[in-house]
Each structure stands twice: as C-alpha cells, then as structure tokens.
Amino acid sequence: MKRRDLLNERGSGVLVHLTSLPGPFGCGDLGPSAHRLVKQLGRARQRFWQMLPVCPVGAGNAPYSSPSSFAGSPLLVSPQMLARDGLLNARALQRFGALPARRVNYRATARKREVLLREAYATFRNDAARADRARFETFQRKQGAWLNDHTLFMALKVFNRGASWTDWEEGLRLREPQALSRAREKHAGEIEYHTFVQYQFDRQWRALTDAARAEGVRLVGDLPFYVEHDSSDVWAHRDIFELDRQGRPRAVAGVAPDLFSESGQLWGNPLFNWNALARRGYSWWVKRLERSLDLFDILRLDHFIAFHRAWAVPARARTARRGAYRPGPGAKLFTTLRAKLGGLPFIAEDLGTMVPEVHVLRDQFDLPGMHVLQFSFADDAALSKPFTCPRRAVIYTGTHDNNTSLGWFRDRGGRGNTRTPAQMEAARACLLRYLGRGARGAEIHWDLIRLAFMSAANIAIVPLQDVLGLGSSARMNMPGTARGNWEWRYDEGDLTDRALERLAGLTDIYGRTSEPHA
C-alpha cells in the first residue's frame, strides 16, 4: 500500500515508545522485544505502531529535545542484536548488571549501554570483514549530509566535557574551515565511534521495518517542530535560527497557558528564521523530512499550530506566561514539501488552543487532524464528541501527554489538574451517559477503546497503557514538569493473549483489520 493511501484506509494501531518495551538492558530498544511486539500487533490485526521521536534524548530525557533531528538514539541500539552479529560476547552482556524493569533510569542505562557500544565498536574496528567495512562506508557516504556534522559535534561535546557549543573555542564555535579540519583529524577515532553507533541504529531499524511490514504493520513517527539549541542542527546551521552574535537565542519557544499548564510551557528551543529558510527553498526542512520518512511510513507533526504561529518568549523568562505570537511559514512550506517529497503523509497535531487558521492550513493540504477522547466530555466540548469526528482524522483515547484513560477517569481534579473536581465529575458523568444505560466505568479503558474504534475516523490509535488497563503511575509525560517523565516501561507478561484477542475482536467488528501479510 502506498503512503498516501495509508491515511485514507480504515485501520487502527497502538502508541508505545521503544524505550517502554521490556528487556534486560535498562530500556526497550530495537532488539527482540520490538520484534516480538510487531508479531503481537499483527496477531491483534493492527495496522500501525506509533512511537515517539527516535532521536537521541536531551534535557529531562525528553525525545522532543534532542542534540540531533537526524540521528538515532544510542539507547535504542540493541546489545542483543550486536551480540547476534558477533560484536559482543556473552560475558559483556552479563557484566551489564540489573536495572529497574518498570522504569527507565536514563543516567545508569546510558552509561552502561555506552560501555557495550564502545566494546562493540572496538570489535568492529579490529575484526570487521571487508564486506562489513564496505557497508559501513556506504552508510557514511549516503548519510553524510547530516552525519558528518553530527558525529563531529558529538566528538567535540565529549572533548569539551559536555559544554554547550556556544562555549567552545571561537574557531569551532564559528565553524571556521581550518578549525573544523583540525578537529576532524584530532578526533577521528571518536568521530568513527559515533558513526558506528548510527550505522548500527540504521541496520537494526531496517530489520525492524522489514519485520513490521511482514506482519502488515506500518510505523508512525513523531516529528518535533523545534530543535534543541545545543544541537548539531543549530551549530551547523546557525543562519536558519534566530540567534545573536554569540549564537544564543534571541527568544525561545514555548506554549501559551492552556489546559495542560496554567503558566504555559517553556521549552527553551530557538526559533526558526523563516525568511532565511524561505530564501534557501526550505532545504533544511526538506532534508529533515526526507530522513524521517526514510525511517517511518507516516509522521505526526507535533505542535502543528507553530506552522501558523509560534509562541515566542523572552530568552531569560522563567515561565511562558509573558510571550507573543510570531507568524510561521504557513502554506509556503507545505507547498514546497509536497513538491519535493511527492506527497504529505502527515498527521497534524492540531490540539490545544483553537485557531481557525490552523484548521484552514491543515485542510488546505488534506492533512488528518487529531481527536482525543479525553477532551470530548468536558462542558466546553460540545463540538468534539466522538460522533463529530470526521473520517479524515486520527482518533486517540489519549496521547503521551495525557493521563492514561483509567487514570483520567479516576482523577478527582485540582492538585496539578487544570480542571476542578466539579469539572472532572461532570466529564465522568457525561461519558457514562454517552456510553448508555448500565455504564459504570468498571472497564473504562476498554469502553474508550471501543468508542475510538467505532468512530468514523479512518485511523484509531490507542496508547498501550490503555490496552493494559493501567492507572496514572503508567503515565508517560506530564507537560510543564521536568522530572519523572518518559520513564514508564511494561513487563513482557503484561501484554497477555486475552488483551490481544480483545483488541483483535474490536478491530474486526469495527472494520479496522490490517491488510494481508506480505
């Protein structure tokens, strides 16, 4: 099935990030658990596996704040797959030691995994067969447009003990050719190590993609709108961001106060210089999306509103309350992308403050928007009940930014929730009336999954936490907070045959069955 048809056909899927998968190495990755999940999704008749950004994590362990928009996360490279390929031995895997199975300890996991990656690199460097070395060099050539900057950036980060690129020596900060040439020679070994990591990520990713397609499952990615300031993207392309002479942001990105946060969200990312990007034919954005679509079949465009307007906050502000909107690229960017990419296989994350122009932009390019059931039963949600969801849409019970469905239903409001106890009680009562006579909410997660699957929306996506019937402790992210996010994991025994059979049954009865296996 062609990309453009995937969003037009009725189907369903599951939302779960790779780090949440089970496994013995501190977090989920591209190894056996990922391959097991695609088989389980195939058995459950699912067409889609949606995940969060797979780039390296940044501040707060967030996949939406990365040192590269193009690179894959080293955390996702599977030690088991490296061992299968002869790059690690059993003793190396045994030395890893135990880490929590239900939460990701990012610091410990990254440290221990790096030891394994460097050991695997040493084996590759010393013992790689000629054919393996040739494939490695081919990867370098094909991905060089972003890979060369990223690997040098990472090598320099190591050399400078993690300091921001704005604090490096002047020649490197300003990317003077002679300084870059000297650095490439001086740090050649470290550069090759980071190239090796990206090569292994790419090999393991291709294997997972092939396995998913064999099960009739397509991968849905997530593209953050902004990039991290301390990233190879900004360092290598200063001219397309709004920076001062020292390379620091003049203003930073965020979100105006909304239902998620009374003070808004202060993200701290630099703003794009859209005039400079337009003069270059939006080439950086084209390359970024080409890379993402090389990995995924469909992309969710996070924070879609910023393509119309962005919330700009003074660089030294402590919250996002004091900001102002600035215009985004609008239709000009999407016209260019459609011509360059040959289509727009995108889902528009059009949640939050309702701005008519955002929906006009979305509809102008026939992009499906998002409909979240947890937002459908509030007093002010008259226009977002499930029966109003259009066919050209993706309906969710919740997203990575929401509580789980069970946690949401049990939430009494207040204390960190922008809705009051009375509002939450009204929402629960509205949902139970909507479900009909006899509804008590005993299995509210399955009730909401059923509502999503029976809707007119072409695609229904359900967080795995809802399939498992988990409460608030399994929440993935709490917007506006800096600690405890992105850590949730499930155990292999949690996803039972009974849960998969129930999911398959709903998928069949509401006409969302996956395409035949390849």
Instruction: Choose, from 302, 411, 466, 487, the residue flagged as catalytic.
Output: 302
What does the block give as tokens for 313? Answer: 């906050």
DSSP 400-455: TTSPPHHHHHH--S-TT-SS-HHHHHHHHHHHHHHH-TT---TTHHHHHHHHHHHS
Total Cβ atoms within 10 A of residue 270 = 26
Number of C-alpha atoms within 13 angstroms, CB side, residue 211? 19
Instruction: Choose, from 233, 401, 411, 466, the residue flagged as catalytic.
Output: 401
What residues contact residue 38 under an 8 Å CB cut-off, 6+ apart? 49, 208, 211, 212, 215, 217
The reply to whether 302 belongs to the active site is yes
User: What crossing angle do the helices spanning 144-159 and 130-142 adopt, rounded to 10°?
Assistant: 100
Q: Are 223 and 287 in contact (CB under 8 A)?
A: no
CA nearest neighbour of 69 among 58, 60, 80, 85: 58
**d(Cα 270, Cα 237) in Å, to the nearest integer?**
12
The reply to whether 210 belongs to the active site is no
The widest CA-to-CA distance across the chain, in whole angstroms, is 75
Cα-Cα end-to-end distance for the chain: 11
Instruction: Choose, from 29, 215, 228, 349, the residue flagged as catalytic.
Output: 349
DSSP state of 494: G
Q: Which helix (H) or strand (E) holds 459?
A: strand 459-463
CA nearest neighbour of 93 among 105, 80, 106, 81: 80
Q: Are strands 393-396 and 459-463 parallel, antiparallel or unpaired?
A: parallel
The reply to whether 137 belongs to the active site is no
Q: Are 325 and 307 in contact (CB under 8 A)?
A: no
What does the block give as tokens for 382? Answer: 């008259």
**d(Cα 195, Cα 71) in Å, to the nearest integer?**
10
Catalytic annotation, residues: 302, 349, 401
